[in-house]
Amino acid sequence: MKLNDLLTIVGDTPLFETGLLLAGNVDPVDVRRQLSRWEKAGYLHQLRRGLYALAPPLQKTAPHPFLVANKLVAGSYVSLQTALAHYNLIPEYVPVTTSVTSHRPSRRETPLGVYLYRHITPSLFFGYITIDVGAGQTAFIAEPEKALLDLLYFHPKQHSMAYLRELRLQNLDHFNPRRFIQLAEESRRPKLRQLAKPVVQFIQSAAEDYRSL
């Protein structure tokens, strides 16, 4: 396989896996050898075993960080501070793309950025949606309410409200209290169910303060 052949196959694809190149009458050993050479030459970025992105200037479509996050660890969705920042519910810029997964926690440092994965119990793996992130790409991300619920899951109950204040939540008219309570009930986690109403009361109060500014 030559570089032009690779570009013909994956030129418009933000990310591609080795399997895409192994269809037909090709030598898998040769394909993998060529991928290694192209990576060393700076034509490709290897994100994990079998997952690649073209490097500029060969790259036609830059992969969105959320798509990269989903593909790096199958069975994950973007959540926590990254999702809250995406929805403009917190003011801070979040440099690390954080996801949750029912698999092992991990940290992945790639040429395209740093990706953090936190483990949640499989029974909490719900409350996420597919969104359009541009350039024909889609990604799994927590609903706004689930992103906050996931965040509270990782904090001790006795510190949760104090942590909530530190987040400096904003644009709360886009937050659905009923959905938050529903998700807390679906979690079947006593801590989250007990926190649901106090959190909603805090958010409603914060929303009133925000509107009065």
pLDDT single digits (tens) 150-182: 999 999 888 888 999 999 999 998 899 999 999
Average pLDDT, integer, range 16-42: 92
Q: What is the 3-class SS of 85-143, one letter each residue?
A: HHCCCCCCCCCCEEEEECCCCEEEEECCEEEEEEECCHHHCCCEEEEEEECCEEEEEEC
If pLDDT is split at 50, 70 and 90, which confidence band does 26 have?
Answer: confident
Taking the alpha carbons at both ends of the chain, their separation in whole angstroms is 62
Q: Which two tokens stand for residue 174?
A: 């886009």
The pLDDT score that the predictor gives to residue 207 is 78
pLDDT at residue 144 greater than cutoff 70: yes
pLDDT at residue 206 greater than cutoff 60: yes
| Residues 112 and 96: beta-carbon distance below 8 Å | no
pLDDT single digits (tens) 63-109: 999 999 999 999 999 999 999 999 999 998 889 999 999 999 999 99
| Residues 200 and 185: beta-carbon distance below 8 Å | no
pLDDT at residue 211 greater than cutoff 60: yes
Instruction: Give the residue among 90, 210, 209, 107 at the shortest CA–CA distance from 148.
Output: 90
| Residues 169 and 90: beta-carbon distance below 8 Å | yes
The pLDDT score that the predictor gives to residue 157 is 86
Residues in Cβ contact with 123 at an 8 Å cutoff, skipping those fewer than 6 apart: 187, 188
Query: Full-prediction pTM beyond 0.85?
Result: yes
Domains recognised in the chain with CATH numbers: 3-54 (1.10.10), 65-212 (no CATH)
